[in-house]
Amino acid sequence: MVRDPPVSRRATLRLLGGAGAAAATTGLASADGEGDDRQRYNVGYDRASGKRAARGRADSVAHEFAFDALTIEADEEAARGLQRRNDVRYVEEDGEMEALGETLPWGIDRTDADVAHSNGDTGDGVDVAIIDTGIDHDHPDLAGNLGDGKAFVTTTELGAPAWEDDNGHGTHCAGTADALDDSEGVIGVSTTAVLHAVKVLGSLGTGSTSDVARGIEYTADQGWEVASLSLGGGASSTLKEACEYAASKGVTLVAAAGNDGPCTDCVGYPAAYSECIAVSATNKDDQLADFSSQGPEVEIAAPGADVYSTYDGDSYETLSGTSMACPHVSGAAAQAIANGASSRSEVRSALKNNAEDIGLTSNEGGAGLLDVATMLGYDSSDDGTGDGGGDGGGGLLG
């Protein structure tokens, strides 16, 4: 798996907490001869005399709170004097905070899925099976879109559903396909499709060919429209027949091409089977990612390098791989179905006929780069960027 050092939302919050502690401590940094600098301080007092002292030492009073505190402008010498008083509870520098809002991942922006959202297209109600390591069942960016789940391997997470993600990979893919548009975390290609966790890979990100085949069969038997397969391994007749079975039931199968690049003819399985839409990965420069497999089976390309999405433990991570490209197309397939595509062939045509030519060869990118807005009939000129296994068995393509 090709992976940058992960940057999770949890880690980001820890860093912000550390910065906040340094900026807003109740102690004051050494002045080093610069005690005449004016700045803002928050002063908490417990008696009226403390309030009078703060006002008396202030150059100006910026705000008086309804509780026992006020914000003043003063020099550091005055602040230190206030801190020594027994009628003053604290003196702290007036620190800085920042908004923690929703992030638009660059791949969602680059494929213009956000243009679709702004026009009301969100993949509403379409069933998308994430056939992977499971999905974090209570992740705040996913829980509202979760439907049913099924486990073909045992989770290591105690007290959680049998299909709970104990690796993180499946949750990451789920977020790219269909994270909620809820003003926090990230946003998916679709935002109101129904996610189903089909757990076929264990905590190490590996599983048997038969379990992957069972997961595909199960998805077809449920009547779910899209199967997202960010995994791969060796060729298998059982896997091939499972894909044929699902295709006969109308399932749109989307699969990661593989991470064996640079190469010229190395698309893995199940992506290489004709029943699947094989997806290669691009980077922020619209180039084929150096890890991406390529070959004549590739049908479309999607962002796969440095993709920020949901992760296990209610967190967020940046990962790279054709695994990250695949759910962009899975979410777009849901968008096409919600917009009226009524068969696998119509979904396939909608995705490929509206792809953007970014100069990749057909072996590298198939029809071109995924373009959700154009596929749905919207202006796709907004092309800027946002933020930011083994043979014989199944393994995730990280």
With bands split at pLDDT 50, 70 and 90, how would you rate the model's confidence at 206?
very high
Range 274-291 average pLDDT = 98
Q: Are 281 and 291 in contact (CB under 8 A)?
A: yes
Q: Which two tokens stand for residue 393?
A: 């068995």
Q: Which two tokens stand for residue 107?
A: 């791949």
323 in catalytic set: yes
How far is CA 333 from each of CA 130, 189, 254, 339, rounded to the nearest angstrom? Answer: 13, 10, 9, 10
pLDDT in tens, 329-371: 999 999 999 999 999 999 999 999 999 999 999 999 999 999 9
Biggest CA–CA distance in the chain, Å, is: 85
Range 313-320 average pLDDT = 95
**Secondary structure of the chain in the HEC alphabet?**
CCCCCCCCHHHHHHHHHHHHHHHCCCCCCCCCCCCCCEEEEEEEECCHHHHHHHHHHCCEEEEECCCCEEEEEEEHHHHHHHHCCCCEEEEEECCCCCCCCCECCHHHHHCCHHHHHHCCCCCCCCEEEEEECCCCCCCCCCHHHEEEEEECCCCCCCCCCCCCCCCCHHHHHHHHHHCCCCCCCECCCCCCCEEEEEECCCCCCEEEHHHHHHHHHHHHHHCCCEEEECEEECCCHHHHHHHHHHHHCCCEEEEECCCCCCCCCCCCECCCCCCEEEEEEECCCCCECCCCCCCCCEEEEEECCCEEEEECCCEEEEECCHHHHHHHHHHHHHHHHHCCCCCHHHHHHHHHHCCECCCCCHHHHCCCECCHHHHCCCCCCCCCCCCCCCCCEEEECC
pLDDT in tens, 51-96: 999 999 999 999 888 889 999 999 999 999 999 999 999 999 887 6
Predicted confidence at residue 94, as pLDDT, reads 81
Domain map of the chain by residue range? Answer: 33-97, 106-396
Amino acid, res. 34: E
Active-site annotation holder among 292, 309, 315, 323: 323
pLDDT in tens, 4-39: 333 332 222 222 223 232 333 333 433 333 445 789
371 in catalytic set: no
The tally of CA atoms less than 13 A away on the side-chain side of residue 73 is 7
Active-site annotation holder among 132, 136, 211, 371: 132
Predicted confidence at residue 177, as pLDDT, reads 98
φ, ψ of residue 21 to 5 degrees: the values are -65, -35
Domain 33-97 of CATH type 3.30.70.80: yes
> Would you say residue 291 has pLDDT above 70?
yes
Range 129-153 average pLDDT = 97
Range 277-296 average pLDDT = 97
Mean pLDDT of the chain: 87
> Would you say residue 166 has pLDDT above 90?
yes
> Would you say residue 391 has pLDDT above 70?
no
Weakest-pLDDT range from 3-7, 195-199, 226-230, 273-277: 3-7
286 in catalytic set: no
pTM comes to 0.76
Active-site annotation holder among 8, 112, 141, 169: 169
Q: Which two tokens stand for residue 285?
A: 């420069």
Identify the architecture of domain 106-396 in CATH: 3-Layer(aba) Sandwich (3.40)
Predicted confidence at residue 114, as pLDDT, reads 96
